[in-house]
Amino acid sequence: MRTVIIGGGACGASCAARLRRLDEHAEIIILEATDEISIANCGLPYYCSDVINSRENMIVAKPSLFKELFNIDVRFNSRVTSINPLSKAVTVNDDYELAYDNLVIAVGASPFKPQIKGIENNKKIFTVRTLSDADNIKLFIKQTGAQKAVVVGGGFIGVEMAENFIEMGLDTTLVEAAEQILSPVDSEIVCFVQNELREHGCKLILNTGVKAFEDSEIELTSGEKIPYDIAILGIGVKPETQIAKNAGIEVGVGDAIKVNEFMQTSVPDIWAGGDGVQVIDFVTGEPAIIPLAGPANRQGRIIADNICGNKSVYKNSQGTSVIKVFDKTIASTGKNEKQLKRLGISYLKNIIMCNSHAGYYPDAKFITIKILFTSEGKILGAQAAGYDGVEKRIDVIASIMRMNGTIQDLTDAELCYAPPYSSAKDPVNLLGMSCRNILDGLFKPAFYEDLTGSVLIDVRAKVFFDTKTIEGAICIPAAELRTRYNEIPRDRKVILFCNRGYTSYNAVRILAPYGFDNIYSLCGGINLYSEIQKDKKEKVPVNL
């Protein structure tokens, strides 16, 4: 039984190794178009800056391992140019045919390269997909003494490349056509990372695309021109599926290969996985492309299981992700607010800001968590930003979502506690409790977009109000509300706020017996408000 695997990335390599462990006598051949296999693609930006300073460490599994331990035939520089499902064979390099019993398409996706004037054959422009790409970037900077870097696109790779260029000492600009970077998260979370990038010297140009690449300058759609010595395209990726389409294999969203829950394509004995396949979105149940390394690895394993007769199912994708940006961590799972609005899905939302671990233990840092959920308590998505323990909380929420848990399950989750790591009420628990309060009608949440036109009441002590507050607010300390509630209007939306949202929630409860139905608590308080304001002030056009 011969299995031919096209592509030696996360899905292909995982599939091959699992196949061997399940069947010692199977003939396994990997056809890899490049001279690389099983490299740490996600580590490439850090290799560029020598944060990862060993090329050898970037190779997850060396070719010798595949040959000596797994007895897998890895053929480098072997590009599959066509698939013939009728004869069950592939053509390699237009040179020879190779028969198969099972074929696995794990080619993945390639960096998107738009049709922009000056982009073709421009030796200053690079993409970041292979180890050779990273080697070429490092060599180019060394040989040319490049000092001005421009990254086009604010996705994961783009942001990580901008960070690592700055770590290398390059004058770095990031250009993003959308109104924000990192599309998986919403404005209340992305503001933290955009501010972090600026604080480390990265110039952010948003709502602006690239019109043309010139010899020494990049012309933007705004008319501005910015100098560059090196440019990175981080605009996104597109599935590499042309050979599959030519073979009559059915494709779907964005030309990604359609597969069933067993990772089978529309053609018998042909399987597919990785960044080039269409998956089902865990939240919506709709087809989607979610190119991430974790799902790709699992899909490769599932394909191997099914080839060997061990029935295995891929259970949809949540899109759980994380990124480090200097000292900040941003993580998310499920859908964001923009996506839910676009899909017409009704939702509630909440934002909390709390300590990463016990406040009395040194170096506690704030975590800001945003969650989207239904009136029945179903979790639709969550995002978080902070310095410590961010990904841990999103992982917990993602796991509860995966088990079809609800808001109540966040409250009930029994999580590790010791002062250096958490609090007796973990941020996940606090998030669940706060959302439960919303569902039970104990308070109405308000957000940054609700401030305009509302009556704003700062419920902190006067000394804090005098130091810093939101413009137009009045001060009624929470402790004085029982005697001053008559000062609060009943015919307008009234938003109470404090530093983070805890005191303002208590203030709402103090006012509950007095018959108010127009009182809201500002989620995230003045701390989140200040971060959003800081971000917005920097979004003016940059004169470079």
Residues assigned a catalytic role: 42
Q: Provide the pairing of β-strand 73-75 with 27-31.
A: parallel
The 3-state secondary structure of 161-203 reads HHHHHHHCCCEEEEECCCCCCCCCCCHHHHHHHHHHHHHCCCE
Measured over the CA atoms of residue 168, residue 171, residue 176 and residue 179, the dihedral's sign is positive
The label of the residue with tokens 């580590």 reads: 43
Supply the DSSP symbol for 60. Answer: S
* Separation CA 173–CA 199 (nearest Å): 13
* Separation CA 129–CA 157 (nearest Å): 9
Starting at the earlier edge strand, list the strands of the sheet with 125-126. Answer: 125-126, 230-233, 148-152, 171-175, 203-205
Helix (H, G, I), strand (E, B) or coil at 536: helix
Residues in the chain: 544
DSSP, residue by residue, 247-278 = TT--B-GGGPEE--TT-B-SSTTEEE-STTEE
Question: Are 334 and 285 contacting, i.e. CB atoms less than 8 angstroms apart?
Answer: no
* Separation CA 32–CA 173 (nearest Å): 35
* Separation CA 370–CA 523 (nearest Å): 9
Other CB atoms closer than 10 Å to residue 261's CB: what's the count?
14
